[in-house]
Structures are given as structure tokens and as C-alpha cells.
Structure 1
Amino acid sequence: MTGHREREFPCWRLGTGADDADGLPVLADVDVVVVGGGAAGVAAATVAAEAGRTVVLVEKYGFCGGAAVAGMSGTICGSYLARENGNPSERIVEGFTGRFRSELLTRGGLTAPQKYGKTYTEAHDPLMWKEAADDLLAAAGVRVLLHTAVVGVLLDGDRHRGVVLESTAGRSVIRASRTIDASGDAAVVARAGLATYFGDDGTIQNPTMFFRAANIDMARYLDYYGEDTICPPKVGAAIEAARREGLDLPRSHIWIFRTTRPAELLVNATRLTAADGRMLNVVDPEDFTTAETAGRRQVREYARFLRRHVPGCEDAYVVDTGTEAGIRQTRSIVGVETLTNDDVVACRKRPDGVVRSPWPIELHTGDRPRLHWLIDDYYEVPYTALVPAVGEDIIVAGRCLSAEHEALASARVTAQCFEYGHAAAVATLLSLEHDIGYRAVDGTLVRQRMRASGSAL
């Protein structure tokens, strides 16, 4: 797969001594720098540090969580098989995913499994997600830099040697032997000028704005809405009727989850586009701004709909929205190998598969999301889908893996992102141990080590 290169970002050539990159101070010299503190980044940093490596994690917000917390996606999707006829479902993704799930359960921060069409998901408490991440990173000895953004990369030829940071303290440098880009947007890869692409010839999935609504009469709500988090046809019909009456409700097929808190719901209802209907690409800050301002307006409209039309929600109010719009897709890397749509539909297994996924293709375009279920089966993501085709000493973890458009609509969810981080860390450890590049790391060895540490592979 070919992609485009983004050359507008600054790259610094490696220097020596206490100052580097045009005289910038060196903040740390470490084995591994992890960029992004979402599910993939927390997993990658924790696993690498627990193996005795020096690790710095860089996160732009004041907390870890990424799309799960800042974007308030709010659920650990992708752990359970899909089954027909409502039969009980089996959890088949473990490893770091299972470990983080246990941390949440211990804190009371995860719901029981909730029906999601033919499969199940679990909703988490965002505060407890942050606390679980904080504790894991601290116990592992990860140096965490919050409120810090990556604004450039250090390169020695085509070898990544660290990143340039910006914070209120100024600009500085982290020198690192290996870089894990867990930004979700392939931000480090793009800043190095390596090839990336956007979805299907530039078409990507819509962002959304999640919100939490409180003061719900849960018994009456469940009696009307039902146990399935995907809305029943009568709710979709009511949305369409309310739209004709003037409410701004562009999406009629919505999802509502119970949370760990009494009388509270997590709502995934909005569909965010430009005023002219154009797709929004939130890599562009103007599109990102449009998504968030439009998202908050739509949240108010969907909250009005709930109060007027859904029993049990008459006195509901909005608790909060995401810190940022929920981002489903931006850049993907051009990898050594690409996860294809056929890989997903055919539930392909492979000897170098490092992450398994039973999640459906969940494509968010237009009025209704499109779902293609993988019944009683799953596929595996190849190790080299995390490795850029060009460039040395950098690997990605998270939704920016190399994947075709519809394949990514399945592979991007939280359970899998934890395991991408796990895989990236294991590959990094092998790369450092043997002093080899990521493309020379044997994916079957990554798989073996992950399995030894609890991954269901």
C-alpha cells in the first residue's frame, strides 16, 4: 500500500552532549520513549519498564486514557466473541487487556458485560481508568510527562533517536534508542516524513461526541429501551420523528450503555460532519474544532430527545462530554504488512499474529453505522502491521496500525489497543536485546512471549 509523506514537520539531526537539536536541552536519555498515554501507550510503557528498561511516556493531556477517557469512548470493546441467538459469549482477549480489566474491577470501575448486538462490552469509570493507569505506570517505574506535546523528531539518517518536546517549561529533547508511537494519529511517524494514509482514498470514519446523562429512572428506562445497548427500532423511529419536528439529530441508530454509577447512562449518539456535510478529519485543527463545538450542540439536542421521548429520562441532565471528540480514525502507517478487509472477514489466523480480535467491522459513515459480525470466530493482526515499511527504530501501537479501511473499523477498539501496546513493547525488548531493527524481529517470537505473559494467542 502506498501513502503520502508529510514534510511540513520539523526534523532535527542528532547531535552530541548535554544539548542537542539546535542547542535544546536533553531532558532524558532512555531506552524507550512512548508517545501517547492511551490504552496502547500505557500498555507499552508498563511492559517495557517492567522488563527493566528505562522508559519515558509523553502525554499531551493531564491524564492518561486517550480515546477511552479524553474521548469518553467509555467501554472496553473487542474482548468477547459474537454469537447468534443471544447465547452467552466468551471473553477471548487477555494479556495486558485482561490485566487492566482486573485493575478496573478491583476498583469497582467496570460494569458487568452488557449486550451489544451479538456480542458484549463493558463500560468503565473514567476516573478509575486514570487511577489504574497512574498506578501501573508508577509501579513499573515509568517516567511520565503529562501536559507535554511532541513537536519534532530526532533523526540520525533514517534512524529515530528521540523526540522534541514542548511544554510550558519550554522546548527540550528526549533521546531514546527506540520510539513507540502510540499517539493514535501516527504523529511521530508523520513528523519523520514517513508514509501514511487516510482511510479509503481519504475517506475516514466520522468522529463523535460521547456524553454521560444522570438522574435516570433506570428501571423504567430498561423496561422501555431493553438490555441491548444498540437501540431498538422504536427508538430509531422516534429519533426520525423528532428530527422532522426540528431537533438536530443526524444519527438515528444510537448506542446507550449503563455505567458503574447509579442512575447514569453513557450515550454514543452524535454524528459530526462539516456544515456542508463534508467529512471531518481531526488532524486538521479547524476540523477538530468544528467536531467539538458541533458535538456539544448535538449533545444538547440528543439530551432533549431523551427527556422528551425515552421513559425514565424525563429528569435527565448532561453530566459531561468528552474532553475531545471521539476519534475513530485519522492516519494509518504504511506498514511492512497491511491488515486487509479480507483478513478480517475470513477470520484469518497466522503464526505471527500478535493480537486477536472478534469485534465486528463497525463502519461509521452516514446515518446508520454498518456492522459485519464475526460469528463464533476471530482474526489475528500480524506483527508487521505495527512496523513502518521505511525508517528504523520506531514502531506504532494503537489505531494507526497499517490496515485497510474496513479492517480498521474492526481492529481499532480498546481491547485490541491494549494488546498492540503489549506487542510493541515485547518487540522493543527483543529489538534491544538482540540489537536489531523492528523489521528483523521475528513476529512468531513476539507472539510466544506475549502468550507466556498471558495473552490468549
Structure 2
Amino acid sequence: MMETDLRPSEELTADVFVAGGGAAGVAAAVTAARAGASVVLVERYGFCGGGAVAGLSGTLCGLYEATDKVDCAPRQVVFGFVEDFISEMERREGLTGPVRYGKTWTRVHDPLIWRESADALLASAGVRVIYHAEIVAALCDGNRVEGALISTVEGRLSIKARVCVDATGDGALAAMAGLETSMGHEGSVQNPTMVFRLMSADVSRFLAAYGNDSIMPVEVTEMITAANGQGYTLPRRKIWIFPTTRPNELMCNCTRIVGADGRELNATLWRDFTEAEIEGRKQAREYARFFRDRLTGCETTFLNDTGVEVGVRQTRQVKGRATLQNADVLAGTKFADGIARSPWPIELHSGAKPRVEWLLEDVYEVPFGCFVPVEGEGLLTAGRCLSAEHEAVASARVTAQCFSYGHAIGHAAALSALDSIATHAIDGRDIRNLLNRDGAALDS
């Protein structure tokens, strides 16, 4: 038996090739293009957004400082490219104001407007976008990554670039090139979730009953605990429900998806990924039924939508020249080459009740080396596949930080491509300076 593909093939060249159109990929592509590089971005779906849109996670987390103080206003501590994106979404009325999330705040977005905002920013920067395209293989010359082979509906496309950015979330391009990666804690990753949306909610009555904190109160947790196994199957007790930009809609982060054998499912394994999708849809229906039966303001609700894919929290981490440690997150560690800051807590989604560890009134920084693979040349990473320990990833993977990573790596990729500087020779302190010129306020 012989492999056959008689469709036409094509070649493209660019200064920078970005694999993946999530928050990190969009930020990297736009930033590199603004710096004067020719940029091609490839995305497997027909839209950008990654987990925020395809996974319907729906929130812009990681902008605001966490605090124990009562009745204080949100204090934003993350700036830079994320503010460009916020402006695009606000202009289209696709982003809520700050919504309480435990000791901090988040913002809820309209996933359709997320897509349109990304399209607008990419177009204005002159990025060449290729949707519905799947990476088939890395193109390498020795230990140098020089591009990727792409499968499109039309045929195969060979993209060659001076610098490549792996913003796939899964470290897919790096793994194809044979670069060193790791996976969770002793091979176990954080379980995926199926986010869903309910329509026809009486949001005013819902908020009056359960408060403005999107982390549901003890009352709801106890109701779920009592109902589980008594006519309902509700594996996760502590849940999060958010009002959205749309009238009469609630976004629900409630499911806990494990395999039939009790394992945390891993979305890099095709059997696990498939099982997670099926189980996630079942759980979304079950929680929606429970909410309609039991929660105030949800009496007439119906399941409007689930994610295009199950929400993936963790898969591969690409081994970098630096590694963000669990202790760095909890201690608020700063780095001379820190290119992103984060106030977001460690969220470990294991067991029926997620564990949250807060960093109060402080931020930690993520060093540039977390995005420079320890091996190889010509490739940088951006997004949740950063080099980080298991618990650190549970904080560092959220959306505002992914925008920050992409902002930094876009500058680094353009610098490498346009000035012929090896990716391993880039000084993260120089990237920090460029970010501060763009308003990232890393030294404020």
C-alpha cells in the first residue's frame, strides 16, 4: 500500500510563520507584522480564538490583582497587546466589565466578537491568514526548524520561514521537530472541561439568589452534592457560572471529565480526546437539566451551545532554557528578562472540587527563556505550551498571559528574522524593553 495525494501543492515563504491562532498566536502574528516582518498564520479552524473560542472558555482571565480586601475596585496589572484586543472587543460591545471571581475579577467575552476582533487586528497588520489548515509535519534542516507542511482542502502547502512560532497550545510543531517536551505531573494532566451556555435565564433573579461572584456559593455546592447519585450525575461540586454580554444568557464552567477508567483524559491521545468530547456533551446536558430543575432564575433555561471542542487545560510543555517553577507563582518571583506578568492563582482541576491557591496583591513574572526551546534553532513557543512545572501551568495558561506571551514572542521573532539574530542569542531583557515601549508597563 502506497501513500497517495494527487492534489496540487504550493509553497509560501515568510519572515515569520505562526502555527495556531489562539490569543498567543494572534498577538505574536500582529506584533511581528507591526515590526515589519512578513507573517503567515495558520489555524486549523475557520476562526481564531483557540480555547477561548473553540473551547468556549469565554473569559479574559489574568488582568486584575487578587485581594482579600472587601469592596475594593479591580486593579488592572497586565497591559500591552491585551489592551488592543480589549479595545477591539469593547468597540463591538463584546466584552463585559469586570466580573467577580473569588478574590479577583475576570471579563466575559462574546466568542463571535472575539473572532471578528482577531480578524480585524490581523488584517490591519497585514498578516496572511490561512484557515482550515492542519500542520502535517515540521520542515527541518538538521536541528533548525524552517517551516511546516500544511494540509488544506485544496492540497498541501509548504511554508518556509526565517523564524517559526509554535502557538498551537499543544507544542505540536515542536513535538513534530523532535524537541524535548514534558506532560503534566508524572504523565497525568489536568482534566479537560466542556463549557456550555444557557439561554432564557432570568439573570437578575439568578444574581439576587446566588450573588455576583461567578464561583457559586456553598449553597449551590451543597445542592449538587446532595443531588449527585439521586437522579442526577454531577461529578463536579464546585462550579462557576458567569453572566455574559448577551441578554438572558449564562456561561457555565461546571463539568469534570475523566475517562471511564477514572483517568484524567489527555487531549494529545486521540482515544482520550474523542472520549472527552462525548462525555463532555453528556455532562453539559445533565448540569443544564439540574440547573433548570433546581436553581433560581434557571427555570426556563435551555442548553444553547457547547464548545466546538472540549476545553483543554494542559497537554505538552516544550522544554525551555528556563522553566517557570511552582514556587515562582506562589512567591511572586520577578526576573530581569521577565516578559509577562501574572496575578492569576494556581487552579488545579483534579477531584470533584477544584483547588485554588491565590497570590494576593502581587504578580509573578514569566522569563523569556520559557519560550526558547533548550534544543534546536529557528523556533520559539508562545501560549500554554511554555516551559513550566505542572502547578505553574495551572496559573500561567490563562488568556491575558497568553496575549502577553504572544506580544513578547512576536517581537522576538521579528527581531530574529529581520536582523538575522539566532533565536538562542536573543536577550530577553531587550524584549522586555520593547514591550515597555508598547505600554506593557512591566516595570510599574
TM-score range, shorter chain: over 0.9
The residue that corresponds to 1:125 in the other structure is 110
Aligned amino acid, residue 127 of structure 2: V
Cα distance in 2 between the residues matched to 1:176 and 1:127: 31
The more displaced of 329-338 and 239-248 is 239-248
Work out whether 1:442 is the aligned partner of 2:424.
no
Asked if the contact 1:251/1:367 (under 8 Å) is kept, the reply is: yes
Q: How does 1:186-201 map to 2 (within 5 A)?
A: 186-201=171-186
The residue that corresponds to 2:4 in the other structure is none
Asked if the contact 2:15/2:418 (under 8 Å) is kept, the reply is: no
2:331 to 334, 343, 346: 346
- TM-score between both structures, scaled by the size of structure 2: 0.97
Aligned amino acid, residue 170 of structure 2: D
Distance apart, 1:117 and its partner CA: 0.3
Q: Secondary structure at the match of 1:30?
A: strand
Cα distance in 1 between the residues matched to 2:325 and 2:188: 16
Q: Secondary structure at the match of 2:151?
A: strand
Aligned amino acid, residue 125 of structure 1: D
Asked if the contact 2:339/2:408 (under 8 Å) is kept, the reply is: yes
The residue that corresponds to 1:389 in the other structure is 374
Aligned amino acid, residue 52 of structure 1: G
1:49 to 16, 20, 33: 33
1:256-304 per-residue CA deviation (whole Å, 9 max, x = no partner) reads: 0110001100000000010121110011111111111100000010001
Q: Secondary structure at the match of 1:152?
A: strand
Structure 1 gap ranges (5+): 1-22
The residue that corresponds to 1:412 in the other structure is 397
1:76 to 60, 65, 78: 60
1:259 to 244, 249, 255: 244
Asked if the contact 1:164/1:171 (under 8 Å) is kept, the reply is: yes
The residue that corresponds to 1:137 in the other structure is 122
1:114-148 per-residue CA deviation (whole Å, 9 max, x = no partner) reads: 00000000000001000000011111111110000
Q: Secondary structure at the match of 1:244?
A: coil
Asked if the contact 1:24/1:173 (under 8 Å) is kept, the reply is: no
Distance apart, 1:98 and its partner CA: 1.3
Work out whether 1:316 is the aligned partner of 2:305.
no
Cα distance in 2 between the residues matched to 1:110 and 1:219: 19
Cα distance in 2 between the residues matched to 1:102 and 1:201: 41
The residue that corresponds to 1:426 in the other structure is 411
Asked if the contact 1:352/1:383 (under 8 Å) is kept, the reply is: yes
Cα distance in 2 between the residues matched to 1:319 and 1:171: 36
Asked if the contact 1:26/1:175 (under 8 Å) is kept, the reply is: no
Q: How does 1:157-172 map to 2 (within 5 A)?
A: 157-172=142-157
Q: How does 1:225-264 map to 2 (within 5 A)?
A: 225-264=210-249
2:45 to 47, 55, 61: 61
Cα distance in 2 between the residues matched to 1:423 and 1:284: 30
Cα distance in 1 between the residues matched to 2:260 and 2:25: 34
Distance apart, 1:24 and its partner CA: 8.3
Asked if the contact 2:348/2:394 (under 8 Å) is kept, the reply is: yes
Work out whether 1:30 is the aligned partner of 2:17.
no
Percent of aligned pairs with the same amino acid: 53
Distance apart, 1:172 and its partner CA: 2.1
Asked if the contact 2:8/2:155 (under 8 Å) is kept, the reply is: no
1:1-38 per-residue CA deviation (whole Å, 9 max, x = no partner) reads: xxxxxxxxxxxxxxxxxxxxxx9844311101100000
Cα distance in 1 between the residues matched to 2:9 and 2:294: 59
Cα distance in 1 between the residues matched to 2:35 and 2:408: 13
The number of aligned residues is 436
Cα distance in 1 between the residues matched to 2:69 and 2:285: 35
Cα distance in 2 between the residues matched to 1:449 and 1:24: 42
Work out whether 1:211 is the aligned partner of 2:196.
yes
Aligned amino acid, residue 33 of structure 2: A
Distance apart, 1:432 and its partner CA: 2.3
Aligned amino acid, residue 270 of structure 2: P
Distance apart, 1:88 and its partner CA: 2.1
| Aligned-pair Cα RMSD in Å | 1.3
Distance apart, 1:238 and its partner CA: 0.4
Cα distance in 1 between the residues matched to 2:437 and 2:232: 53
Q: Secondary structure at the match of 1:28?
A: strand
Aligned amino acid, residue 249 of structure 1: L
Cα distance in 1 between the residues matched to 2:204 and 2:407: 40
Aligned amino acid, residue 356 of structure 2: L
Distance apart, 1:85 and its partner CA: 3.1
Distance apart, 1:244 and its partner CA: 3.0
The more displaced of 25-34 and 59-68 is 25-34
Asked if the contact 1:384/1:439 (under 8 Å) is kept, the reply is: no
- TM-score between both structures, scaled by the size of structure 1: 0.94
Cα distance in 2 between the residues matched to 1:432 and 1:278: 43
Asked if the contact 2:194/2:306 (under 8 Å) is kept, the reply is: yes
Work out whether 1:307 is the aligned partner of 2:320.
no
Asked if the contact 2:196/2:307 (under 8 Å) is kept, the reply is: yes
Structure 2 gap ranges (5+): 1-6
Cα distance in 1 between the residues matched to 2:255 and 2:137: 34
1:40-90 per-residue CA deviation (whole Å, 9 max, x = no partner) reads: 001011111112211110000011110000000100000000010333220
The residue that corresponds to 1:10 in the other structure is none
Distance apart, 1:454 and its partner CA: 1.4
The more displaced of 42-51 and 113-122 is 42-51
Cα distance in 2 between the residues matched to 1:52 and 1:434: 11
The residue that corresponds to 1:273 in the other structure is 258
Asked if the contact 2:53/2:307 (under 8 Å) is kept, the reply is: yes
The residue that corresponds to 2:360 in the other structure is 375
Asked if the contact 1:83/1:89 (under 8 Å) is kept, the reply is: no
Work out whether 1:359 is the aligned partner of 2:365.
no
